[in-house]
Amino acid sequence: MKHRWIAALLALLLIGMSQAAAEKRIAPEDKKVYTTADLIGHETAYRVYDKKFYDAASEQPGTVVRIEYTSNQYGEPALHWANVYLPFGYDENGTERYPVMYFFHGTNETQDSFIMDEKAKNAVDNMIEVGVAVPFIMVFPTYYYDYGNRALNVEKFVQEIRLELMPAVETAYHTYAESTDTAGFTASRMQRAFAGYSRGGRMTWEMFAAMQDYAYWYLPMSGGFSNPEETPVPDHQQERLMDAIQRQPQWQGNYFVYFSCGGKRDNAFDMCNDLTNYMLADEAHFSYGLNPGENNLCYCSSNQLHQTLIGRFYLYNAFRDVLWRAE
């Protein structure tokens, strides 16, 4: 009798597990797929995801919290803050470690501009839930040290990220950094990304210029390595890119740039396309493809306009293609 009771209990457990497995949501097929072949001579897919699925609420939502830290970069010490996205299941008392992405907003935007938008957050939640993306932490700072006057200082902002924000974040949350000194950040650079849209894309290039020892992945979106008012833009971008590479020779080629832009309807298209073609011609430092270790450059082009929330589509394609799939 006892054995029958145990067998019945096991059967019920198996049925419950089977039902749970059957109910697990599966990602739908992409709606459309475009390529970059006609733009740069290399065929890379841009996938249009199912908005009804990815932009809707996830069954496993992450949380957004706020971290405060002191910055000493702009004169008197000042209290700065950033939004931090923590994936579903994150346990502050746990031991699981997560890769981390620092995401920079566009001109006149704030720390809230991407992740506090319902569609953008839902997209990140859903990408993680269905396995398109690995569970990861996202950090959303601002480069405006005086937001009322839209004041910024790029060089000092880079130091703020390196010396103040990153140690604060990676002390507070479970990233792969064993310590928050140079050795700890360098040892964990494969698990760290910088990304951003529009001026945030430009800031991503600034991180590439100064932080290759701290991060392997760079996802500039609709933003070149220059201000639009700086002329001639193509030459200026090329000079800055070469300077960034030459100042960090120990990391030559040991990085991955996943560059995205909205195609000819994006007002950053010419700047982004010029920079991409320059990198393609520089075979000494860049190799096009989707195999990290062998390649370090990919260009993803859509037919979208210049809007920050388009960034969620580029994140989707980056995860589908290459991001944090190096091992």
The pTM score is 0.90
Helix boundaries (H) for the chain: 2-23, 37-40, 51-54, 118-129, 154-160, 166-172, 182-187, 199-210, 233-246, 269-281, 311-321
Select from 1.20.58.1690, 3.40.50.620, 3.40.50.1820, 3.10.510.20 the CATH code of 30-321. 3.40.50.1820
Domain boundaries, the chain: 30-321
> Which sign does the torsion angle of CA 197, 257, 125, 161 carry?
negative
pLDDT single digits (tens) 36-67: 777 788 888 899 999 999 999 999 999 999 99
pLDDT, averaged in runs of 10, over the chain (327 residues):
50 46 74 79 88 96 98 94 98 97 91 94 97 97 80 89 98 98 97 96 94 97 75 71 89 94 88 91 94 94 88 96 79
Residues 6+ apart with CB under 8 A from 260: 219, 220, 221, 222, 299, 300, 301, 302, 314, 317, 318
pLDDT of the residue at 227: 60
- Residue length, the chain? 327
- Asked if residues 192 and 214 have their Cβ atoms less than 8 Å apart, the reply is yes
